[in-house]
């Protein structure tokens, strides 16, 4: 029987239990996937208990994607080490193998799009995963940061790109791709800084939805990828890794997106 959970704080809003549980049902897997309120302060305790009680794995959300690197119980793969962000842990006996299914999800979702000139709002674990996914393709990255020091690791992840920190109220026009990885409400004011839409907006939030930025972007006729797209895409890899199964991503993606939209819009 599979035992897995998503860890983070706050975590009650997470759609991951609904998505993973539905996947287990489709795959005929006996398992339980829950949400556990976890902060930096009790992360070590939760991970130790996971080994003792033989949990199969965990997914991580805010604020744990970066703080997980202080855990002595984890072995980090090359991908997560490169971006200093991990969101999926798979237990292997008395240790965890850590990776970033956020990064692999960004790679697949952004593969069809031109990403030469990019603006990224925020510089945390999700932003790092996004940069890692496009580092080999991007020429310029403008970072809208409340904490400018976060630009240092972004420059390390994308050493061939021209990386600049710009003001938090900068215009978002003229980019191939704009990625918002900031918490709810932080980027709302930027909806007033969109004068025309030339590229793609990737809004990593899914609740509340729509965000002010995504609403304005769509009103101007722009294409938007959502936090639900990202959540489902990274879940596909996490399910495969934690449950050690192979399945058709295309069919599973369609069903999990349906579940996500149903959870977000129960009246539909």
Sheet bearing 31-37, strands edge to edge: 31-37, 2-8, 57-60, 88-92, 95-99, 74-76
Q: Which two tokens stand for residue 204?
A: 């990593």
Q: Which ranges constitute the DSSP H helices of 163-226?
A: 212-219
List, in order of start, the domains of the chain with CATH numbers: 2-99+229-264 (3.40.50.10860), 104-225 (3.40.50.720)
What does each of the 268 residues of the chain score in pLDDT, given as a tens digit? 999 999 999 999 899 999 999 999 999 999 999 999 999 999 999 999 999 999 999 999 988 999 999 999 999 999 999 999 999 999 999 999 999 999 999 999 999 999 999 999 999 999 999 999 999 999 999 999 999 999 999 999 999 999 999 999 999 999 999 999 999 999 999 999 998 888 999 999 998 889 999 999 999 999 999 999 999 999 999 999 999 999 999 999 999 999 999 998 865 4
Q: How far is CA 156 from the centre of its chain?
A: 20
């Amino acid at each position: 029987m599979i035992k897995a959970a998503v860890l983070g704080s706050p975590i009650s809003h997470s759609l991951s239990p609904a998505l993973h549980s539905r996947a287990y049902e489709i795959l005929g897997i006996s398992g339980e996937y829950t949400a556990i309120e976890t902060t930096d302060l009790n992360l070590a305790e939760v991970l130790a208990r996971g080994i003792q009680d033989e949990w199969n794995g965990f997914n991580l959300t805010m604020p744990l994607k970066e703080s997980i690197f202080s855990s002595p119980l984890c072995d980090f793969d090359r991908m997560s080490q490169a971006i200093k962000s991990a969101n999926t842990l798979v237990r292997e006996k008395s240790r965890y193998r850590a990776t970033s299914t956020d990064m692999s999800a960004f790679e697949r979702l952004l593969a069809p799009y031109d990403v030469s000139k990019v603006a990224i709002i925020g510089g945390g674990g999700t932003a790092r995963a996004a940069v890692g996914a496009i580092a080999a393709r991007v020429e310029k990255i403008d970072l809208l940061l409340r904490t400018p020091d976060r630009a240092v690791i972004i420059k390390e992840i994308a050493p061939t790109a021209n990386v600049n920190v710009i003001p938090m109220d900068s215009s978002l026009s003229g980019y191939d791709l704009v990625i918002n990885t900031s918490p709810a409400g932080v980027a709302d004011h930027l909806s007033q800084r969109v004068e025309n839409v030339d590229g793609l907006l990737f809004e990593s939030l899914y609740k509340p939805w729509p965000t002010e930025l995504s609403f304005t972007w769509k009103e101007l006729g722009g294409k938007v990828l959502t936090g639900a797209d990202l959540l489902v895409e990274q879940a596909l890899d996490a399910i495969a890794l934690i449950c050690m199964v192979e399945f058709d991503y295309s069919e599973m993606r369609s069903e999990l997106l349906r579940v996500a939209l149903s959870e977000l819009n129960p009246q539909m």
